[in-house]
Structure 1
Amino acid sequence: MDSAFSTDCEYAVRRPSEAPPDNLSGMATRRTKAKSTAELSDAASASWLLLIYKVPSDSSRARVAVWRELKRLGGFYVQQAVCVLPDREELRAGMEKVREKVAELGGSSVFLTLTDVDDDARDQFVEGFQSQSAKEYAEIVEECETKFAKEIEFERFRENYTFEEAEEIRQDLEKLRRWLAKVEGRDWMGAEGKDLARAKVADCERLLEEFEADVYERTEGKI
């Protein structure tokens, strides 16, 4: 094993007494809450998948490509080039594909299954995943409120009651639904915000149905 890999792995998982990486420092002050959440969450993993990788330092394209694939899986970065996921069959297969991508890009990786993780690290993992999913739910809510609803409001303002416009907005609704489904699919730790995101997407559907009804009344309904 590459010495840099072994050092990173030990730092990320086995040294809770040392200062945590930058992106975990804010979590340290909330460990009591995280521990309570971890104990109550049936979704918390008994074991974890850890990927440590290197890609050519002169290739930002390679770094972004790997990062994108891991984030698509729902991976949580405990530090740079060190990513963790719950131990699930489909995620294990996804990690293997990422390793193939790393190799194609001229890099190298180490893939570990962690079965003996102390409470401190486990709490950090759980809270990290919850924070990621909560942010994604919040983004969906924002999209519903600031884009989707405003779009319908604008089309009403300019009286653009056409089937083509209604169809375009419905495509936007389908995108929101697919987005929500993806976020829910990788919300393994029961993050806050899911119910609100679902409610906002349902509101979008109601707004669109009302708009479509008005489009019908102004076009087909007059025939």
Structure 2
Amino acid sequence: MRRRGCLSESANLSCMPAARRKPVARNHAEGPWLMLIYRVPSESSRARVAVWRELKRLGGLYVQQAVCVLPDRADLRASIDKVRKRIDELGGSSIFLTLHDVEPETRDQFVEGFRGQSEKEYAEIIEECETKFVKEIEFERFRNNYTFEEAEEIRQDLEKLRRWLDKVEARDWMKAQGRDLAHQKVAECEQLLEQFEADVYERVVNEAD
């Protein structure tokens, strides 16, 4: 029989192991927290991946297998409810808790975990700017491919980078390092593209003459 429960009472996580860590600065990190504990059919890897993907898209922090934590926000509560319905559809079960009384070391683990996730995503955006985007323009210049179609394709890549950065920033609740540098690198990509577009325009105009 499938079971789908929801506990509104406070939950104390003092029993959770916590490594010794440096105190972290509190920045919207005092709680409460939302915790989702779920189970999906073990024989269905598709179901496990589907739930994992949705929770990671929300910015969820996995504290152990099938146990995910998020800050207590109205929009995230609504999103978790949708995930729970999806778990039901996949033949699983879930328990949803609101955590108010969390010991300091555990809270620090949450904060550091969320910051680490965001820092990693910012680093991926920075790497994408410094390698793929820059090299793409360099390659098109190398092969003398100054066309409107190519410039438009690169413009679409830039828009993808911007949307990616917007999503990462929206779930960066703990003010992770890397945000400013990521914005800087995306701005540099914009400048490179504008220079390339200007060169494309000059080539097209000269050819027309």
Output the TM-score relative to the length of structure 1: 0.86
The DSSP-based 3-state class of the residue aligned with 1:49 is strand
The DSSP-based 3-state class of the residue aligned with 1:13 is coil
What pairs up with 1:1-223 in 2 under 5 angstroms? Answer: 13-16=13-16, 18=17, 20=18, 28-29=19-20, 31-32=21-22, 35-38=23-26, 41=27, 43-222=28-207, 223=209
Q: Shift in Å at residue 120 of structure 1?
A: 1.1
Match of 1:25 in 2: none
The DSSP-based 3-state class of the residue aligned with 1:109 is strand
Distance across 2 between alignment mates of 1:211 and 1:70 = 39
Distance across 2 between alignment mates of 1:182 and 1:82 = 23
Contact map agreement 2:13 2:101 (CA 8 A) in 1: no
Provide, for residues 183-215 of structure 1, a one-character-per-residue CA deviation record: whole Å limited to 9, x for no partner. Answer: 000000000100110000000000000000000
Distance across 2 between alignment mates of 1:36 and 1:76 = 17
Q: Which amino acid aligns with 1:134?
A: E
Distance across 2 between alignment mates of 1:139 and 1:45 = 28
Contact map agreement 2:24 2:112 (CA 8 A) in 1: no
Contact map agreement 1:51 1:109 (CA 8 A) in 2: yes
Aligned-residue RMSD, C-alpha:
1.7
Structure 1 unpaired stretches of 5+: 21-27
Distance across 2 between alignment mates of 1:36 and 1:180 = 25
Q: Which runs of 4+ in 1 moved over 6 A?
A: none
Q: Shift in Å at residue 15 of structure 1?
A: 1.3
Q: Shift in Å at residue 83 of structure 1?
A: 0.1
Provide, for residues 9-31 of structure 1, a one-character-per-residue CA deviation record: whole Å limited to 9, x for no partner. Answer: x8x92314x4x5xxxxxxx35x1
Contact map agreement 1:13 1:117 (CA 8 A) in 2: yes
More helix by share: 1
Question: Once the two structures are aligned, what percentage of the paired residues are identical?
Answer: 69
The DSSP-based 3-state class of the residue aligned with 1:201 is helix
User: Highest relative contact order (Cα 8 Å, sep 6+), 1 or 2?
Assistant: 2
The DSSP-based 3-state class of the residue aligned with 1:134 is helix
Question: Would you say how many aligned residue pairs link Structure 1 and Structure 2?
Answer: 200
Q: Which amino acid aligns with 1:219?
A: V
Contact map agreement 1:44 1:189 (CA 8 A) in 2: yes
Q: Which amino acid aligns with 1:68?
A: R
Output the TM-score relative to the length of structure 2: 0.91
Contact map agreement 1:45 1:86 (CA 8 A) in 2: no
Distance across 1 between alignment mates of 2:36 and 2:168 = 21
